[in-house]
Amino acid sequence: MTVGDEVVRAADLLGSPVVAAAAARWGFTNRTTLATLADGRRVAVQRLADRAAARRRLRLAPPLAVQLAAAGVPTAPLLGGDAEATPPYVVHAAVAGTNGAEWLASERGAERLARLMGALVARLAAVDARGLRLPVAWADPVRLARASGVRLARSSPRLGAATVRVLQTAIEKLEPLFAGRRPVFAHGDFAPVNVLIARRASGRGWAVAALLDLEWARLADPLFDLAWWGWVVRFHHPERWAAAWPAFLAAAGAAGEAERAPAAFAARIRTLQLLRLLELADRSRGRSAAEWAMRLATTAGW
């Protein structure tokens, strides 16, 4: 059995050797290994590509788990980690369940996932974020417009002229489009891959067993997590988006806003998607930067 350095360090940290380990099927930026320790514990050891993200995870996870639990949002308990190790890693207790991305294999599964994650959005918006020291750049449209303008100036050499024009228009319209809207807690990377789904304890129906990867939590517009979930599904699973999106909005309680002011709602969703992609493209380097620029160009053409 060959395991990564982060798994060996995690086992040392927890005081029990690894007796079995396997790479998790899902995960893109970070690498997760599911391991069984000699004392019987099952853990998820995650090698994080971003050291700063590891620091945020270790700082945020303990207080955030308390606030999320109070809002009815389950998480995978943090057991430890080391953001300064090479590679940086975190270790969580393993939670039984199927990764949400697997539910997108069928239309029925996608709709069920959409309802479960839509209902989760509503609970996330109720999280008490006081004292968590979350980033606030996305909580204020004036600040976001300013930051997005700086990002666009840095990133424009890698973007096509048409994409730049779409982003310039989005930034120009940002303040009136989002003025007066109260920010809420947002997961920051609310996507199917970041939930585990399991049978309810009663055996009837399904529930979110754990919300994962919370290092990008922030204060943002109430549509932030909705917009990102919609982008991920539409971009990576377009064959599921048409059925899943309405189910997701209904479960999230956003269908009314979409029906009352469809043009403004669609503009807000699109703006949040574009500016989040710009944020990711701006902070990425090398091949990753080129991939995010391509995704941004595709989205600008929707």
CA 204 and chain centroid, separation: 28
pLDDT at 1: 55
Q: Could you report the per-residue pLDDT of 141-163, keeping only the tens digit for each?
A: 999 999 999 999 999 999 999 99
Q: How far is CA 134 from CA 28, 137, 182, 190, in A?
A: 24, 9, 15, 16
* Predicted pLDDT at 201: 85
The pLDDT of residue 25 is above 90: no
**Tokens standing for 228?**
């990102």
Residue 260: predicted pLDDT: 94
CA distance 294 to 299: 9
pLDDT number for residue 29:
76
Query: What does residue 210 show for φ and ψ, rounded to 5 degrees?
Result: -165, 140
Residue extents of the structural domains in the chain: 5-93, 98-300
| pLDDT over 70 at 288, yes or no | yes
Beta bridge partners of 89: 47, 82
Residue 26 has a pLDDT of 79
pLDDT band, very low/low/confident/very high, at 2 (cuts 50, 70, 90): low
Fold of 5-93: Phosphorylase Kinase; domain 1 (3.30.200)
Same fold, 5-93 and 98-300: no
Cα–Cα dist 194/213, whole Å: 6
- Looking at residues 175-183, what average pLDDT do you find? 96
Q: Render the burial of 136-157: b for 16+ CB within 10 Å, e for the rest.
A: eebbbbeebbebbeebbeebee
pLDDT at 30: 84
Please provide the size of the chain in residues: 302
Whole-number pLDDT of residue 202: 86
pLDDT of residue 148: 98
User: Above pLDDT 90, what percent of the chain?
Assistant: 92
pLDDT in tens, 70-123: 999 999 999 999 999 999 999 999 999 999 999 999 999 999 999 999 999 999
pLDDT of amino acid 129: 94
Residue 294 pLDDT: 96
Exposed / middle / buried, residue 54 (Cβ in 10 Å: 0-12, 13-18, 19+): buried
pLDDT digits (tens, 9 = 90+) for 187-228: 999 999 999 999 998 888 999 999 999 999 999 999 999 999
In tens, the pLDDT along 248-263 reads 999 999 999 999 999 9
Tokens of 4: 């990564």
The CATH superfamily label for domain 98-300 reads Aminoglycoside phosphotransferase (APH), C-terminal lobe (3.90.1200.10)
The reported pLDDT for the residue numbered 3 is 75
Reported as a pLDDT band with limits 50, 70 and 90, residue 13 is very high
pLDDT of 287 over the 80 cut: yes
Share of the chain above pLDDT 70, in %: 99
